[in-house]
Amino acid sequence: MKRALIFFVLTTFFITSCGSTSTDTTSNSPAQYIENKGSDTIVNLALAWAETYQAEHSDVRISVTGGGSGTGIAALINNTVDLANASRKIKDEEIAEAQSKGIEPVEHIIARDAIAVIVNPENPVSELTLQQISDIYSGKITNWNEVGGEDRPIVKLSRETNSGTHVYFLETVLRLGSKEDKTLFSTDTLLLPSSEGIISEVRSNPNAIGYDGLGYVPDDLKMIAIAEEEGSAYVLPAIDTVNDKTYPIARDLYMYTDGEPTGVVKEYLDWILSPEAQEIVAELGFVPVK
């Protein structure tokens, strides 16, 4: 299911109801619309949720669009969406801009995610510390032989700056969680617009290193086990290691609304946190919040 859904990332969808045995599809009540836009990390999950929900609620239409966390939050600020998906927390300056336009962002945690660091299966490197990854992406380490690999140049891949995953990786990995640290991605880092772009490049390039949400990593790529610091345990990303907090690159995923949700939007958000919807979270490789 995960691999099938990946085809749809970064495309705008309007999903129409396919009916349900538990819903009266002959109802003449007018359709209710929910506009949902933002994070490319969340878009496959949002699509799966929307398809399932519409199959059970024939009077609801849900439009799901990617484009990045920044795009979703901008749409919320401009009052053009009901739900803004984000793989990072909304920034203080975004809140201020929203409030200046009469919008009051309210945060809803809808799932959790691990960021997997990935390499080509031909790469013999299997373990890295957070500091080593920071040094790779900031340009201090440039050859795989500096971290136990072969004498090959390291090709660094990242999501573009509008991506919430890019921002999270910068703050948590490159800057090691320090707000005073001003480390930046090396200028030779290749910025790619989608998860598929990173996966495709890592698959074809044995020198590449990239990062992506756990739910997007296919079986034919190699995930790096990560240690928080030298001497601590190396841990692979998984639902269990996110929940027990042993995997060091994990985060919450969000939806934002203008004020507390009401009506059909509240009903949909309540369903997203239900056992049925959270089961879909696990099926797609993310981490349920309940």
What's the predicted TM-score (pTM) here?
Answer: 0.78
Q: What is the pLDDT of residue 29?
A: 58
Whose tokens are 């966390």? That residue is 69
Model confidence pLDDT, tens digit, residues 224-261: 999 999 999 999 999 899 989 999 999 999 999 999 99
Q: Which amino acid is located at 241 in the chain?
A: T
What pLDDT shows up at residue 243? 87
User: Number of helices and strands (H, E) in the chain?
Assistant: 10, 12
Instruction: Say which CATH architecture domain 114-250 belongs to.
Output: 3-Layer(aba) Sandwich (3.40)
Q: Is 186 in contact with 137 (CB distance < 8 Å)?
A: yes
At 2-36, the pLDDT tens digits run 444 444 443 444 444 333 333 333 345 568 999 99
Q: Which CATH number fits domain 2-112+252-283: 3.40.50.12780, 3.40.50.1970, 3.30.390.50, 3.40.190.10?
A: 3.40.190.10
Length of the chain: 290
**For 186-196, how does the pLDDT look when each residue is reduced to its tens digit (9 = 90+)?**
999 999 998 89
Q: Looking at the DSSP assignment, which residues form a beta bridge with residue 105?
A: 258
| Coarse DSSP helix, strand, coil percentages of the chain, rounded to the nearest 5 percent | 35, 25, 40
pLDDT by residue (tens digit) across 87-143? 999 999 999 999 999 999 999 999 999 999 999 999 999 999 999 999 999 999 999
**Is 114-250 in the same CATH topology as 2-112+252-283?**
yes
Domain boundaries, the chain: 2-112+252-283, 114-250
